[in-house]
Structure 1
Amino acid sequence: MADHESWSDDQATTTVTVDGHDLEVAYHEDGPDAADGGDEPPVVFVHGIPTWSFLWRDVVPAVAEERRTIAPDMVGYGNSAVSDDFDRSIRAQEAMLEGLLEDLGIDRIVLVAHDIGGGVALRFAAHNPDVVDQLVLSNAVCYDSWPVEFVSNLGLPSTADLEREELEGRLDSAFVDGAYGDADPEFVEGMKAPWLTDEGHLSLVRNAVATNTNHTTEIDYDAIDAETLLLWGEDDVMQPYDYAERLADDLADAELAPLSDAYHWVPEDRPDAYADRLLDFLE
């Protein structure tokens, strides 16, 4: 189990262009095929808000025993660019993902995504059906399921003026309340870390402002033909299981896979069960 500092130390960086802005993207790469690519498409993990790639700390190692894994920090998040001069919407994150894959020379992937990363993944899968072989969505934003009140409040102008202690308290509440049972302090500490600087604090506000329901209501869900697994924490109140059921009805090839005893942070709540089910799906 990596702490957030060692996870950051293991990240590589590249530069992608989004809306004319050259932005640094940090990403964590692992797996036996990381050097030569191998025959199987890599597994790409996309996080949500207010997390970063460290969300996948307990899932990536199990998958990396068999497959190449790539877990980027979205722009405006984690150790990627956080300057106050670019779009952070899921439309922009889709462009980030396209640029990252192009830079790494990858033309086929398995895409695993959580929260607003799920919105990014849905858009990408609809627009690039020849690239996404398999799709795994976990407590993902879709249709009109978002933004939730907590994220909307992060985007209020007053949030930029919060004292650091109060911001940290809000984040503590989000990560504790969104977890099943007792949240691991190391997880909470790692999730908060990118936001507890002046630049990170402002970037978090800008990320929240950029949430736009139109970017998932406009998706042509019929265009998504990837084999899809809806690996969903069934006790979540932020992205309820009802939305997983709706996706299962609307996507061409989707399987419901509810995980009990899991709230919103499902990769953290049930990492072993999550990794096992994901690996079964990849076979």
Structure 2
Amino acid sequence: MERDEWTDRLDSTTVTVDDHDLEMAYADEGDGQPLVFLHGIPTSSYLWRRVAPAFTDDYRVIVPDMVGYGESTMDDRFDRSIRAQEQAVADLFDQLSLDSVSFVGHDLGGGVGLRYAVHEPEAVDELVLSNAVCYDSWPIETIVDLGLPATIEGMDVDELTDTLESVFRGTLYGDADDAFVEGMIEQWASEEGLVSLSRNAIGTNTSHTTEIDPSAVTARTLLLWGAEDEFQPIEYAERLEGDIDDAALVGLEDATHWVPEDRPEAYREELRSFLGAEQ
């Protein structure tokens, strides 16, 4: 699926974050129990193009672009930390009248899901964390560098997209899919996008996961991890498994940080099996 085809299926609404009204884009398809997929940095809802659509026959599938990403607001006037993203997602859930959800989060989206599951235990029925930021596992050096104003001031759009292309092609398992790489880079290919990515990067605040006690998670939890991730190593998933009472760890071989793209079929199978276990 090309990125344009994906973005054509997105709606948008206004969410409030720290008294800022921000446009948030999201896909909302299917009926049944709400199943939310949330991406991380520097991706977008397009990360889930090979996973989320497979669940629309059985679930109400909701796939947001975090604020500052994808088709959501990118201007330079608001916090993009996972604390703020949690607030944005919670407002979206309220607007969509979602009393409870099954929450699937990757990377920063996993950090948002972890916080939300701790703060709103009655609102999360199942929690799936994939190569998620947690504890003090993040941010990685590449993201820290992008968050430095001096880095962005000395970088033009072409240099940024070249850097991102190198990161994706160098870390995806096997041959990278051109549509995926181009789709992830396209959102940042403007001056507004360049600044937005920098602001997203500088908003990566370790305190927002170190302040959370994973043992407070009451939701049934699946740690569905790319086993060869160099950014969020599987040892952090093992630590989460030990701290969360009802947690199971599945490590997918031949998958790095971008596990929904590296192993989409296996990811779908493991997720469907986990979600179906309580039906």
Does residue 120 in structure 1 map to residue 119 in structure 2?
Answer: no
| Structure 2 letter corresponding to 1:129 | P
SS of residue in 1 equivalent to 2:159: helix
Distance 1:223 1:75 in 2: 27
Which of 87, 104, 121 pairs up with 1:129?
121
* Identity, % of aligned positions: 57
Match in the other structure for 2:180: 187
Matched, 1:10 2:2: no
CA separation in 1, counterparts of 2:157 and 2:12? 28
Measure the CA separation in 1 of the matches of 2:257 and 2:45: 16
SS at match of 1:29: strand
Matched letter for residue 237 of structure 2: A
- Letter of the 1:150 counterpart: T
Secondary structure at 2:255 match in 1: coil
> Distance between the aligned counterparts of 1:78 and 1:253, measured in 2?
33
CA distance in structure 1 between the partners assigned to 2:238 and 2:111 by the alignment:
16
Q: SS in structure 2 opposite 1:79?
A: coil
Shift of 1:9: 1.1
- Report the residue type matching 2:193 in the other structure: G
Alignment match, 1:241: 234
The reply to whether residue 75 of structure 1 matches residue 67 of structure 2 is yes
Deviations 1:213-256 (A, max 9, x none): 00000002221110000000000010000000000000011001
Distance 1:65 1:50 in 2: 29
Aligned counterpart, 2:168: 175
The aligned length equals 275
Residue of structure 1 in register with 2:45 after alignment: 53
CA displacement at 1:174 relative to structure 2: 1.4
Aligned to 1:199: 192
Q: Distance in 2 between matches of 1:22 and 1:156?
A: 26
The one-letter amino acid paired with 1:238 is: F
Structure 1 SS opposite 2:23: strand
Post-superposition CA distance 1:28-81 (Å, at most 9, x none): 1222x1xxxx3xx21100100000000000001111232110000000011001
RMSD: 0.8
* 1:43 has 2:35 as partner: yes
2:196 is paired with a residue whose SS is helix
In structure 2, distance between residues paired with 1:173 and 1:116: 20
Question: 1:173 offset after TM fit, Å?
Answer: 1.3
For the residue of structure 2 that corresponds to 1:239, the secondary structure is coil
Query: Within 5 Å, which residues of 2 pair with 1:90-101?
Result: 90-101=82-93
Q: How far apart are residue 94 of structure 1 and its match?
A: 0.3
Paired with 2:139 and 2:171, the residues of 1 have a C-alpha distance of 15
Listed as ranges, the gaps of 5+ residues in structure 1 are none
Q: 2:95 pairs with 87, 90, 103, which one?
A: 103
TM-score normalised by L of structure 2: 0.97
2:146 is equivalent to residue 147 of structure 1: no
8 Å CA contact 2:158, 2:189 repeated in 1: no
Runs (4+) of structure 1 exceeding 6 A deviation are none
Q: Secondary structure at the match of 2:121?
A: coil
Structure 2 spans left out of the alignment, 5+ residues: none
- Partner residue of 1:223? 216
Q: Secondary structure at the match of 1:144?
A: coil
Structure 1 residue 166 corresponds to structure 2 residue 165: no
Give the letter aligned to residue 261 of structure 1: D
Does the CA-based 8 Å contact 2:2-2:183 persist in structure 1? yes
